[in-house]
Amino acid sequence: MHSFDLRNTLTPFSMLEVVNRFAKMDAGDEMEIIGDEIDVYEDLKIILPAADYELISEAFEPPWEGRFRIVIRKTTQGA
């Protein structure tokens, strides 16, 4: 599983890393993304092509306001 922790990072660069890694993933590969800003999660849903992945799990931690953890599985073949 590929894992990205986007907490306390420069978001544009981190998002680019996620998108690049996602593009290279094979069908069936999973990616975990952890973040501390709900806007980042909303941006990911726009940037990553919805037809190319399946949402395996999503969690929003009440004690960590705005923090999230998602796991997605790629459904199409990578580059």
**How confident is the model over 8-50, as pLDDT tens digits?**
887 788 889 999 999 999 999 999 999 888 888 888 889 998 8
How confident is the model at residue 78, as a pLDDT? 66
How confident is the model at residue 38, as a pLDDT? 82
Domain 2-74 classified CATH 3.40.50.1980?
Answer: no
List the beta strands (DSSP E) in the chain. 2-5, 30-35, 53-60, 68-74
Strand partners, 70: 33, 58
How far out from the chain centre does Cα 22 lie? 9
Mean of pLDDT over the chain: 87
Residue 45: which H helix or E strand, with range?
Answer: helix 38-47
How confident is the model at residue 62, as a pLDDT? 72
Distance separating alpha carbons of residues 72 and 58, to the nearest angstrom: 9
The model's pTM: 0.84
How confident is the model at residue 19, as a pLDDT? 92
Distance separating alpha carbons of residues 71 and 7, to the nearest angstrom: 16
